[in-house]
Homo-oligomer: A and B are copies of this chain.
Amino acid sequence: MCYYVTGHMTGHIVSIIEFSGKRMPKSRITIRDVAARAGVSHQTVSRVINASERVSPDTRLRVEQAIRDLGYAPNAIARYMAKGSTRTFACIAPNLTDFTFASIIDGAEMKARQNGYFLMSASASDVDIFKNLIVQLVDSRRTEGLMVINPYIDDRHLHLPPQVPIVFLGACAHSGRFNSVFLDEEEGGRLAVQHLLDLNHKRIAHITGPRREDCTLNRKAGYLSALLQAEVEPDPDLIVEGDWSATSGYRAVKQLINQGQRFTGLFAQNDRMAVGAIKALRESGLSVPEDVAVVGFDDMPLASYFDPSLTTIRQDMLSLGKAAALLLLNAVKDPDSPGVQQKMPVELVIRSSTAPNRQEEENPD
């Protein structure tokens, strides 16, 4: 039951309703109010709410009662101002909508909260925004630790502040000053290509991410390493650079086909490009996996619902986020602890884009 008056189709402000049931008078119940009511000093109240040592069971009860009576809740700002700690971490990502980023943030937020920390997340599409965020978040001491997702997509890693512990996500830190949590990208590439080799493919095309990103290089290293090990000569003409978008995967395949390249296997560095590639292959009259077997990377949501369902490399982004939060928590506890580089495992998920008629093992959603 909605009280708004209509105005549909055009969208936008529809109606304004009764008075806003005026909010409470900025409830300013402080530790002193509680103290007064309990007939103790404000300090005793402080001791009680800090679950601290020596308070007589009797007064503790009285104070607790007063707290309940007054509906008192400690002011976190004042508290952390006195302590000099905000119990807040921040996470900066290129955007918040990419599901891998979102999963990382979700995981990190959970783990942080379990430990009494909050997480502010912000998106920085370019370096200027990033620099600005650093000032707002770190220089002004709003946060005690920083998570940076994809620090190497541009020069942002050159603008990191010295005051707080930092953890990189999705890339191994090039300097020991920082912590990092990242996937075993190379192993992922290797698993993907090994799988294609096992299916007897020799000419395996490769669509990479943007050249400058670490992750691109590492996945490609895995690709090369698998070929090498199988004694298959890599063909540079089969490697095309994309930009992670489905469209770029589509274009990459069109390009390969226009160039007359022959290949029966294809490894795309993410699922979106793989999906775009499959579309282009079909448009060219090639069927997947019969003519070309395709492997992606990410195991994105609904990867098993594409046609054909996607063989891909699976990772646990939630764990990545949790691990990052944990590193930050440790670094806050022990500021002189060394940077830790933590590599997370990946896993091959075989579906129909490489294995026709294979019984799907599950349909994650």
Contact = CB atoms under 8 A, between A and B. Distances in A.
A10 B11 CA distance: 52
Contacts of A121: 105, 109, 119-121
Contacts of A122: 109, 113, 118-119
Contact count band on A: 35 or more
Nearest to A26: B163
B102 A20 contact: no
Interface string A179-192: 00000101100000
As for how many copies of this chain the complex holds, the number is 2
A36 interface: no
A195 to B, nearest CB: 15
A357 interface: no
Contacts of A97: 99, 102-103, 106
A136 interface: yes
Given A77-B142, A365-B247, A12 B343 contact: yes
Contacts of A158: none
Contacts of A3: 172, 174, 176, 341
A11 B184 contact: yes
Contacts of A141: 73, 75-77
A197 interface: no
A56 interface: no
Given A4-B172, A12-B342, A14-B343, A120 B118 contact: yes
A109 B349 CA distance: 35
A210 interface: no
A98 to B, nearest CB: 8
B96 A109 contact: yes
22 contacts: A2-B172, A2-B174, A12-B342, A13-B342, A14-B343, A17-B339, A19-B176, A19-B338, A23-B163, A24-B162, A26-B163, A76-B140, A77-B142, A81-B81, A88-B120, A96-B103, A106-B123, A118-B137, A247-B363, A250-B363, A275-B302, A276-B365
Given A21-B175, A246-B302, 12 more contacts: A8-B184, A8-B187, A12-B342, A14-B342, A17-B339, A17-B341, A26-B163, A75-B141, A110-B123, A118-B137, A246-B363, A275-B302
